[in-house]
Structure 1
Amino acid sequence: MGFQDLNINKQILMALEEAGFENPTPIQEEVFSVSRSGKDLIGIAQTGTGKTLAYLIPMLMKLHYAQGLVPRALVVVPTRELVVQVCESVELLTEYMDIRCVGVYGGTNIRTQQDKVFEGVDLLVATPGRFMDIYYNGIIRTKMIKTVVVDEADRLMDLGFLPQLKGIFEVLPEKHQTMLFSATFSEAVESLSRDFLKEPVRVEVARQATPVEHVEQFRYDVPNITTKINLLKVLLADKERYKKVMIFTETKKNADRIVERLADHWKGELSVIHSNKAQNTRLNALRAFKEGEARILVASDVAARGIDVQDVTHVINFDIPSLAEEYVHRIGRTARAGKEGVAISFVSEIEEDRFTDIERLINQSVEVLDLPEKLEISQLLLEEEQVQTSNIVYQQGRQQGGGAFHQKKAKNSYTAEDNRRNVMRKRNAKKKKK
């Protein structure tokens, strides 16, 4: 089926053709008729499946042209990066339409955003907190909003935005269409849908937490953060293979640490985004990566959702996410639009339980690769690793009746040979399970 078979208006069809889109994805095809009917909808689809266009195309057809000064449609997303991306998608689709889209998000001048909203807007794209800030300042009027999209609902729940979402729904007109999109259908998302959707139609195009089909997944067993950085240096030196790489960390500290340690080798090829970076810095870093000026993008999990960058060859999980679902969202940054990609995870002994949860979630074992021969394995534990290791050893000592001397010895006795033995032990265990 092509987009022309969905009875999309001529202006949007022209914009899609000009942008190189030929056929709708399954979620776009399934959502279109439900959205046009005006019914509430729950869309469950993994990252990279085209959820943004799935809701934007029918929404823009309903808006049709610029009208009045107050918003008639609202899209709520969890991060400023997603606000920017949705607005970019609107700009692409409305090349031949007169639709005013304004994006509002925290971390930047609220007065400038309020002025844009006051001048007139048809489609408002917002993070929950900034929406409520501008609403309480008397700038946003909601009486004409007839279509509401809550995108990345699971992420919104994870980030604690439920109070703000409740506030938004309380000020919306009673009669409106709500479309909720999520990569997973957690208990929190289900509760949200029960509270704010009326007899929704559920569209699900992929099993929950299904990894991207064309992603090859591998892991290295690495003893500590310093060795992980050494491993990055070895892998990224192969520029022919690692052409466009996203490196994910769970902490801002590790993201900065990676950039600092790699800057001597590839300073001009590095970008970094996380919540402590200024908004312009983050957007410039993302732009440089999208346009190929930067080969390597280092990101905390704030960037794991929704960022649509084409032709990412590798995703590297520098550290393992505490929520197994985040792994799926991370690796969804590669192998987009049917292309192939590679996901590599660096797993320390501290993170072994987390990775076991991931393998249980995706229902498969991830192949363990041998560490490169020229890799320098460090025995240095950074302060945060010492705390984590001490906690693990302490728990083991309590279970086994070991004293403080044995705990200290266990903490400091990790060697390269221990790492090799651990790798072999885990492989043999997996073979036995099979």
Structure 2
Amino acid sequence: MASFEDFKLNKQLLNAISEAGYEIPTEIQQKAIIPILAGQDVMGIAQTGTGKTAAFVLPMLMKLKFAQGNDPRALILSPTRELAMQIEGDIRLFSTYLDLRTVVLYGGLGPKTQKENLAKGCDIIVATPGRFLDLYLAGDINTRSLQFLVMDEADKMMDMGFIGKIHRILEVVPRKKQNLLFSATMSDLVQKIAGDFLAFPTVIEVTEQATPATTVTQNLYHVPNLKTKLNLLQYLLKDEESFSRIIVFCKTRVVADEVYRYLSKQFGKEHIRVVHANKGQNTRINSIQAFKEGSIRVLVATDVAARGLDVSNVSHVINFDVPIVIEDYVHRIGRTGRAFNLGDAITFCNPAEEYYVAKIEKLIRQTIPVLDLPTEVFVEKVGFEEKQAIAREIDNQKRKENPDFKGAFHEKKHVYNAGKKKAVKKSFKGIKKR
């Protein structure tokens, strides 16, 4: 495909696409738009950053054409409020010259305004599963006119335990509709839900499952402990020219807050923000918006921001912690190297995280290149408590692989007792001889 004009989209859409700066369709767009326009159910497998939102939004807008009635004709389900807002933003961007009405629904704030927006009438609903069900059960949504059901980031929805809510939604929407499912990975649960609502779908896999974008360069540092991770992070961020716009991913809210505090002292609060589930909705929205606009350089985040955060020209993603849900690695690093741009993903790995790195490498079918720690980075001694925590985690990992494994402490105790018994037996032998 040379251009979007080859899809025979209407003039209003083509003008909006041109004004948004899109020139060449991405691979997923080239392969998905035509079958969706033809009315086929589609299952698309594509890593983040490949333009899959436009792949289903553009043909959907083309088929809906104009505002009609009060009830929604398209429902797009998203695992997180951030992704829902991102999709709604893309719909507004592409429907600039259309009179289609879009309402976004998500939790974390009162439903009053969302109910009022629904009452005005809408053509498209973008929603998280929980909030959609709440408003449907309250009688604020009528699903009889639905023509499209789109499930975006299906693998994340399954990871977040939405399978029960998805099945309830499938029970209340019309059977006769066009169904679209998009996912970066194809887990067993995603295959199950796909089988429940897709009818003989066209399967589009633009890359092998769980393959990171080829525009992302991946590297790994082996780092012994938390303090050394902080030293390495500070060292890397001193290069302001190369590390111009960075997302630092942490596994917990506590770690994210600590990293934020540390970086704020080193580089100033005005250049850094932190987002996680404990932050208020407005705070999260404002922080992500400031990062998009380029007014802050570093965004520290938990995996709440790994999906749906579409920011152009993110120079680096830094995994301060290796994700325990290994599929999240693909989504994290997909925040950089988006839409034909190049990007870098750097992972910090302590001894207890090597287990997950091995699983990630198996998932992505790649070996992540290992870099030596720069000589300028001071390597801190591992404290007693952290050493114990790492040892316990490694024991737990071994137990996962081998249920009969008793743990290092148990083994030491067993060896000691065996030696003690042997010594006692030897003593008794000596007594008998005497």
Q: Same-fold call, TM > 0.5?
A: yes
CA distance in 2 between partners of 1:80 and 1:272 (Å): 17
Distance 1:402 1:291 in 2: 60
Counterpart position of 2:221: 220
- Tell me which residue corresponds to 1:55: 56
Match of 1:396 in 2: 408
Q: Compute the displacement of 1:65 (Å).
A: 0.9
**Please, what is the CA RMSD of the aligned residues?**
1.7
User: 1: CA distance between counterparts of 2:227 and 2:101?
Assistant: 49
Whole-Å separation in 2 of the counterparts to 1:196 and 1:263: 48
Q: Secondary structure at the match of 2:241?
A: coil
Which residue in 1 is equivalent to 2:245? 244
Three-state SS of the structure 1 residue aligned to 2:339 is helix
For 2:356, the equivalent position in structure 1 comes to: 354
Farther off after superposition, 197-206 or 364-373? 364-373
What displacement does 1:160 show?
A: 0.2
Matches within 5 A, 1:250-269: 250-266=251-267, 267-269=269-271
Q: Once the 2 structures are TM-superposed, how far is the Cα of residue 285 of structure 1 from its aligned partner?
A: 0.6
Contact 1:225 1:382 in 2 (8 A): no
Query: Counterparts of 1:139-158 in structure 2 under 5 Å?
Result: 139-158=140-159
2:280 aligned residue: 278
Provide the C-alpha distance between the structure 2 equivalents of 1:273 and 1:46, rounded to a whole number of angstroms.
23
Counterpart of 1:407 in structure 2 is none
Q: 2: distance between equivalents of 1:201 and 1:76?
A: 20
**Aligned match of 1:43:** 44
* Alpha-carbon contact 2:225-2:386 (below 8 Å) kept: no
Amino-acid identity (%): 47
Query: Structure 2 unaligned runs (5+)?
Result: 396-405, 417-434
- Aligned equivalent of 2:303, options 301, 306, 325: 301
Give 5+ residue unaligned stretches, structure 1. 405-434
Measured against aligned partners, the alpha-carbon deviations of 1:132-166 in whole angstroms (never above 9, x if no partner) come to 01111110110101101000000000000011111
User: What is the total number of aligned residue pairs between the two structures?
Assistant: 404
Q: What amino acid sits opposite 2:52 in the alignment? A: K
Deviation at 1:401, TM superposition (A): 4.8
The alignment partner of 2:98 has SS state of: coil
Q: How far apart are residue 114 of structure 1 and its match?
A: 0.9
- Using the size of structure 2 for normalisation, the TM-score is 0.90
SS at 1:342 equivalent: strand
Provide the rounded CA distance (Å) in 2 between the counterparts of 1:391 and 1:31.
43
Partner of 2:126: 125
SS in 2 for 1:337: coil
| Change in 2 beyond 3 A, CA 1:6/1:257 | same
Q: Kindly state the Cα deviation for residue 378 of structure 1 after the two structures are TM-superposed.
A: 2.2
Matched, 1:379 2:388: no
Once residues 146 and 168 of structure 1 are traced to their aligned partners in structure 2, the CA distance between those partners, rounded to angstroms, is 14
Cα distance in structure 2, aligned partners of 1:222 and 1:384: 13
Give the 3-state SS of the residue equivalent to 1:338 in structure 2: coil
Q: Report the Cα offset of residue 379 of structure 1.
A: 2.5
Provide the residue aligned with 2:322 in structure 1: 320
Distance 1:313 1:387, change over 3 A: same
Larger Rg: 2
1:185 is matched by which residue type in structure 2? M
Deviation at 1:170, TM superposition (A): 0.6
Q: More deviation in 41-50 or 359-368?
A: 359-368
Task: Give 3-state SS (helix, strand or coil) of 1:336's partner.
Answer: coil
Q: 1:290 Cα shift?
A: 0.7
Q: Distance between the aligned counterparts of 2:411 and 2:52, measured in 1?
A: 48
Q: Which moved more, 1:370-379 or 1:323-332?
A: 370-379
Question: 2:94 matched to which residue of 1?
Answer: 93
Q: Structure 1 residue 193 and structure 2 residue 194: aligned?
A: yes
> Hey, what's the Cα distance between the residues in 2 that align with 1:387 and 1:309?
36
Task: Give the CA deviation at 1:400.
Answer: 5.3
- C-alpha distance after superposition, 1:337-391 (max 9, x if no partner): 2221111110000101111111222223222222122322222549677434335
How far apart, in 2, do the equivalents of 1:208 and 1:68 lie? 40
Structure-2 residue corresponding to 1:26: 27
Q: Find the aligned partners of 1:204 and 1:351 in 2 and give their Cα distance.
A: 30
Q: Secondary structure at the match of 1:144?
A: coil
Which residue is 1:229 aligned to?
230
Residue 167 (structure 2) aligns with: 166
- Alpha-carbon distance in structure 1 between the residues aligned to 2:385 and 2:264: 22
**Separation of aligned partners in 2, 1:400 and 1:39:** 62
- The change in CA–CA distance for 1:382 and 1:230 in structure 2 (over 3 A counts) is farther
Contact kept? 1:225, 1:381, Cα under 8 Å: no
Q: 2:332 aligns with which of 327, 330, 338?
A: 330
Q: CA deviation at 1:402?
A: 6.4
Structure 1 CA distance, aligned partners of 2:288 and 2:316? 16
* 2-structure distance, mates of 1:384, 1:366: 26
Letter in 2 for 1:83: A
- Structure 2 counterpart of 1:272, which letter? V
Measured at CA, do residues 381 and 279 of structure 1 come closer, stay the same or move farther in structure 2, by a change above 3 Å? farther
- Whole-Å Cα distance in 1 between the matches of residues 105 and 317 of structure 2? 29
| Residue 385 to residue 327, structure 1, CA distance change in 2 (3 Å) | farther
**CA–CA separation in structure 1 for the residues paired with 2:110 and 2:89:** 20
> Are the counterparts in 1 of residues 327 and 360 from structure 2 also a CA contact under 8 Å?
yes
Query: Aligned residue for 1:103?
Result: 104
Instruction: Tell me the residue number matched to 2:117.
Output: 116
Q: Tell me which amino acid in the other structure corresponds to 1:71.
A: P
Identify which range, 385-394 or 347-356, moves more after superposition.
385-394
TM-score normalised per structure 1: 0.90
1:230 match: secondary structure: helix
Q: Which amino acid aligns with 2:365?
A: N
- Taking the aligned partners of 1:395 and 1:183, their CA distance within structure 2 comes to 36
Equivalent residues of 2:74, 2:146 under 8 A apart: yes
